[in-house]
Chain A
Amino acid sequence: MNWDLIIFYYLAIVMIFSSVFAIFSRHPVYTVLLVLVMIIHQAFLLLTLGAEFLTVVQIIVYAGAILVLFLFVVYLINLRKETKKSVFIRTVSLIGIVFLLLGGLLIKNLLILLSLKPSFKAYLPFTIEEKSNVWWIANYLFKNYLLQFEIIGVVLLVAILGAVFLIRKVKIVEQK
């Protein structure tokens, strides 16, 4: 038995189940925690491909920053009553239709995947071992995609400025 395969299937199964349970969980904090489990497993999936830098960035950015903010918001809203409500029967039919559509897509994709020859080696255009992972990413990012990188930076700056503008203290000056 191949160790890589065992690790891959473990990560894949945990990722699928934690995402499904995250959708079905009625408890917002549990949902955030299940998404956390999913993200950490996804990070380790990247590690099996030899992308250690992406692994760590995934954990720092998604688990360490974004999900903590989600948890922060969920934390401040008391939803203990909401979680005890019974299932909304009317929405079940709608959910059923969505699931049928999604399930159809999933089966179609699975059929396509099965018809292909399985190869679990990632396609690497160069040997990663020569230089470190970080070097390759920096090389691609700052040589080929510099303009896009800068544009994203400016967009994020605008978003930050917008947030600061929204939370500023408003001094109401009474007009006489």
Chain B
Amino acid sequence: MGDLIDKLIFLGIAAGSLLVIALLHVAYLTYAERKIIGRMQQRLGPNRVGPRGLLQPIADMVKLLTKEDLVPYGVDKPVFYIAPFISLVCAGTGVALIPIWKKFVLSNINVGILFILALSSLSAYGVILSGWASNSRYALLGGLRASAQVISYEIAMSLALLSVVLMAGSLNLMDIVKAQINSPYKIYLIPQIIAFYVFIISAIAECNRVPFDLPEAETELVAGYFVEYSAMRFAIFYLAEYFGMVVMSALAVTCFLGGWIGPFEIPYIPFFWFLIKLYIILFIYIWVRATLPRYRYDQLMGLGWKVLIPVAIINLFLTAVLKLIF
């Protein structure tokens, strides 16, 4: 009994600190995004709140928390209330499974990679339900688009990850990183470059980011599935989207870029290289957003089903054959 309580307290502290760190990352990701896109579009970005605008995310948070919580007439209340939380929980739980360092992973389960895929498939519910419960045309269309998009791109993403699983011979994320470190190239980016491309593209689509942000296309659907949400409920959707970005980037770092391994050891900061790689992938997300225009809906579906899935299947087949030969 005492053991169990000790264990629970330790887990609580570890989970709490991980959550706080992840939330800080999410908050400053929004700041970094605005700043980088500002630079790319020859603007300054936020620069009024605090030195160089560094307190902007906190100001935004305070603003959203103190705003009025509007619930429009005719919504399906229970579903309307619960939908943002489904999105947030499904997006945020993935952080617990990522091995940040060889001695730190909050929950080291044997089917970690499948668990993240399961969570990302459940996160479709938040989007679909919010679109349905809002009782609004724009939200309904956004929800429809989002569900079709998430289901389609999930297949390509799973197939890309499967070839990594096949190379590592394990579904445990920790074992995948260790297998990478023991492999001749140290990282799977080089032998699995095709899977990496497929994964990154479908991860962008899975998080509903530009150029695949059709569910929330401002110019057509106002804001898509969360158009009727305001104040903190809107912020929760926003948080879920950025949490999704962080988890997908961390998964890319774990499965393709070798996790915590680096060219040399940094003393006292064992997860230094993990964070550097994570920031590079997040920068790619923002870079893509600032560079590319939005896809048309049929182009999006065509890319998913006619290009990414066949490419991923061929890559999986080649990986299996090469693994049999060597």
Contact = CB atoms under 8 A, between A and B. Distances in A.
B121 A60 contact: yes
A133 interface: yes
B227 to A, nearest CB: 16
Interface string B94-119: 00000000000000011100110110
Q: Which of B114, B115, B129, B170 has the most CB of A within 10 A?
A: B114
A68 B128 contact: yes
A76 B143 CA distance: 11
B114 A60 contact: yes
Contact of A75 (B4, B144, B172): B144
Contacts of A68: 121, 124-125, 128, 147, 151
Nearest to A47: B109
- Interface residue tally on B, bucketed by range: 20 to 34
Interface of B: 4, 76, 79, 109-111, 114-115, 117-118, 121-122, 124-125, 128-129, 131-132, 140, 143-144, 147, 151, 154, 170-172
Nearest to A57: B114
* Chain A interface size, under 10 / 10 to 19 / 20 to 34 / 35 or more: 20 to 34
Contacts of A60: 114, 117-118, 121
A56 B111 contact: yes
30 contacts: A29-B76, A29-B79, A29-B132, A33-B79, A52-B109, A52-B110, A53-B114, A53-B171, A55-B111, A56-B111, A57-B114, A60-B117, A63-B121, A64-B121, A64-B124, A64-B154, A68-B125, A68-B128, A68-B147, A68-B151, A71-B129, A72-B128, A72-B144, A72-B147, A75-B128, A75-B131, A75-B132, A132-B170, A133-B111, A134-B171
Given A52-B109, A68-B121, A72-B147, 7 more contacts: A53-B110, A53-B171, A56-B111, A64-B124, A65-B151, A75-B132, A133-B110
A11 interface: no
Nearest to B117: A60
Interface string A59-70: 110011100100
Contacts, number: 68
Contacts of B79: 29, 33
Contact of B118 (A29, A59, A71): A59
A36 to B, nearest CB: 7
Given A68-B147, A75-B144, A59 B122 contact: yes
Interface of A: 3, 29, 33, 36, 52-53, 55-57, 59-60, 63-65, 68, 71-72, 75-76, 132-134
A101 B171 CA distance: 46
Chain A at the B interface: mostly helix, strand, loop or mixed?
helix
Nearest to B148: A72
| Ranked 7 nearest A-B pairs via Cβ | A64-B121, A59-B118, A56-B114, A60-B118, A56-B111, A132-B110, A56-B118
B73 to A, nearest CB: 14
B132 A56 contact: no
Contacts of B118: 56, 59-60, 63-64
Contacts of B110: 52-53, 132-134
Nearest to A71: B128
A71 B171 CA distance: 30
A52 B111 contact: yes
A48 to B, nearest CB: 14
A64 B114 contact: no
B306 to A, nearest CB: 14
B121 A75 contact: no
A68 B154 CA distance: 13
Contacts of A36: 125
A65 B129 CA distance: 15
A137 B76 CA distance: 42
Contacts of A53: 110-111, 114, 171
Contacts of A3: 4
